[in-house]
Structure 1
């Protein structure tokens, strides 16, 4: 009782002292785990891969196993489950010629099959601009997660913003910007050499000359290597043929000498 009165007097001095000392006076009761829980087998993920994407919605592979009360693993299976990373994916740039079919998607191709129905997609557009300033965007009607142009027109140029939201909480889990530039084939010449200055053309020609010299040197080296190979092959063949002819000539000479010796010997 004396200790509790002393503690109460300390609490009257300030709320901070009371908050510090009161938990020390509380005693916790011993928790008893029921016998039924001791025999429960839990199924948990014992191993998992990293998320397939660096932003937004992706998937990972998990190894699910049953854990016995003794800590043993059994009946392990692999499961593919969605995963969330940083919701902001930044800006992607595209340059598309007029008249060419083109499309882009909020979701990666490997996540479309098992996550597309659980989310909703909101599109906005900044016409004719490549920007990430959200003030410049206006609503863009597109119900799905894919925007498709067939064919692409000049009026389709701009930045498209896609927000992926969860249907249950309506929380944004991914935001990505698509900057689309549309060029006319008869208005823009994409010939890189024509756009260079005189000095840049000289420098480019020097680089091409060095590359050409290296290429010609390599070609010459290959040529001389092949030529030396064929020359050595011809020399070896000629040597073999010469040896064969020499042996044939020696045998014929031996036969001729034997015949002459047989004819010159006296008869008895």
Structure 2
């Protein structure tokens, strides 16, 4: 009799919810020899709460939200049920603000997307046989007018911002001769040298005077 043992496995394909992983199964003889190894795909479950995804879609374009990947949904075994809820006009994860949204499939299509579709969609995935919740995800959807999508970013900047973006230095930060004159350090000023010379002369005279007193 040969036993089948899991000898290797890849990480789960997702970091939350239901995903798939590849496993290597091998048979072992009583002598410990590995034979007839095979690779199989199996479902894996990470943290079932997937949090909030922020999405921005231009109005008039088709768009689809997918609650569960096709690979995870098509694996043999458990069957799943999908429950969608909608908070119109809000980007939120406060479950009190959601109301039922009839859609029994794992994806939700907009053909086309309209501004009225903006809001947060929540999708729950459950195992039908046990009602176990295996995934909850929120989609924060903003549908914006199509004429706002192609705005020229450079035209929205001030002159100083355009210069900074292009690597040039704005006029207010110029370092020409006049600006360097205004920014001259204190020790570069003429009065600083005069003061230093006066202080140095005073110190030398004081030392000579003290030395003369000692010699008397």
Moved more, 67-76 or 55-64: 67-76
- Judging by fraction of residues, say which structure has more strand: 2
Change (3 A) 1:74 1:137: same
**1:153 correspondence with 2:111:** no
Instruction: Look up the match of 1:135.
Output: 96
Q: Is the helix fraction higher in 1 or 2?
A: 1
Q: Is 1:204 equivalent to 2:162 in the alignment?
A: yes
- Is 1:74–2:38 an aligned residue pair? no
In structure 2, distance between residues paired with 1:116 and 1:157? 35
Q: Per-residue displacement from partner, 1:74-97 (whole Å, max 9, x unpaired)?
A: 111111111111111111111112
Distance 1:195 1:132, change over 3 A: farther
For the pair 1:123 / 2:84, whether they are aligned, the reply is: yes
User: Is the contact made by 1:82 and 1:115 (CA closer than 8 Å) also made in structure 2?
Assistant: no
Assess, with a 3 A threshold, how the Cα gap between structure 1 residues 116 and 194 changes in structure 2: closer, same or farther. Answer: farther
Distance 1:154 1:207 in 2: 33
Q: Distance in 2 between matches of 1:149 and 1:50?
A: 33
Secondary structure of 1:64's match? strand
Kept after mapping to 2: 8 A contact 1:154/1:183: yes
Deviations 1:21-77 (A, max 9, x none): xxxxxxxxxxxxxxxxxxx42212111111111111111111111122232211111
What is residue 55 of structure 1 aligned with on the other side? 16
Q: 1:86 and 1:207 mapped to 2: Cα distance?
A: 42
Q: 4+ runs of 1 displaced by more than 4 Å?
A: 186-189
Shift of 1:206: 3.0
Determine if contact 2:58/2:149 at 8 Å carries over to the other structure: no
Matched residues, number: 169
What are the residue-to-residue correspondences of 1:1-268 with 2, within 5 Å?
40-114=1-75, 118-186=79-147, 190-196=151-157, 198=158, 201-210=159-168
Q: What is the distance in 1 between the residues matched to 2:44 and 2:154?
A: 47
- Structure 2 unaligned spans of 5+: 169-216
CA distance change for structure 1 residues 103 and 160 in 2, over 3 Å: closer, same or farther? same
Q: Whose RCO is larger (CA < 8 A, sep 6+)? A: 2
| Rounded Cα–Cα distance in structure 1 between residues aligned with 2:70 and 2:156 | 38
TM-score, structure 2 normalization: 0.71
Paired with 1:190 and 1:181, the residues of 2 have a C-alpha distance of 17
2:194 maps to none
Greater mean deviation of Cα atoms: 153-162 or 101-110: 101-110
- Secondary structure, counterpart of 2:146 in structure 1: coil
Decide whether aligned partners of structure 1 residues 71 and 116 sit closer, same or farther in structure 2, where only a CA change above 3 A counts. closer
* CA-to-aligned-CA distance 1:91-121 (integer Å, 9 cap, x gap): 1111112211111101124434326971111
Judging changes above 3 Å, is the alpha-carbon distance between structure 1 residues 145 and 181 closer, same or farther for their aligned structure 2 residues?
A: same
